[in-house]
Structure 1
Amino acid sequence: MDLAAVASTVSALSAQQAGDAVGTLVLKKALDLQAQNAAQLLAALPQPAPYNNPPHLGGKVDLFA
């Protein structure tokens, strides 16, 4: 077996592993950024108005309709 071929194979595998690690890191940062943006959008939603129904309304459901 040629020693240069083994060295080039090891070098290629090492470069591929480094590329995979960089890709994983970029993906993680992109997901973190999307999570931050989603949290900001949820925080920007207006709060729903409280219901001001009289006490006799909304307490029962007619199941025989």
Structure 2
Amino acid sequence: MDVNNIASLVTAMANQRTADAIGIAMLKKTLDIQASSTLTLIDTLQQPAAANPPHLGDTIDTSA
């Protein structure tokens, strides 16, 4: 093998390693953002949509 070919191969491998590291970092950040968004969505679902007035449901009409 030629020295230039070896140097080119090493450079390409280093560039690929850097690209892989960047891709993994972006994936981790995306997963963190999705987890945060999911927790926010779950928190909003746990709150009741609308509460009934306090007088509703106190009595049952049995004579009807």
TM-score normalised by length of structure 1: 0.69
1:8 aligns with 8
Q: Deviation per CA, 1:16-37, whole angstroms, max 9, x where unpaired?
A: 0000000000000000000000
1:61 aligns with none
How far off is 1:41 after superposition? 0.4
**Cα RMSD, aligned residues only:** 1.6
More helix by share: 2
TM-score normalised by length of structure 2: 0.70
In structure 1, the gaps of 5 or more residues are 50-65
State, as a whole percentage, how many aligned pairs show the same letter: 42
Structural mapping, 1:16-35, within 5 Å: 16-35=16-35
Deviant stretches of 4+, over 4 Å: none
Aligned equivalents of 1:28, 1:8: Cα separation in 2: 30
- Number of residues paired by the alignment? 49
In structure 2, the gaps of 5 or more residues are 52-64
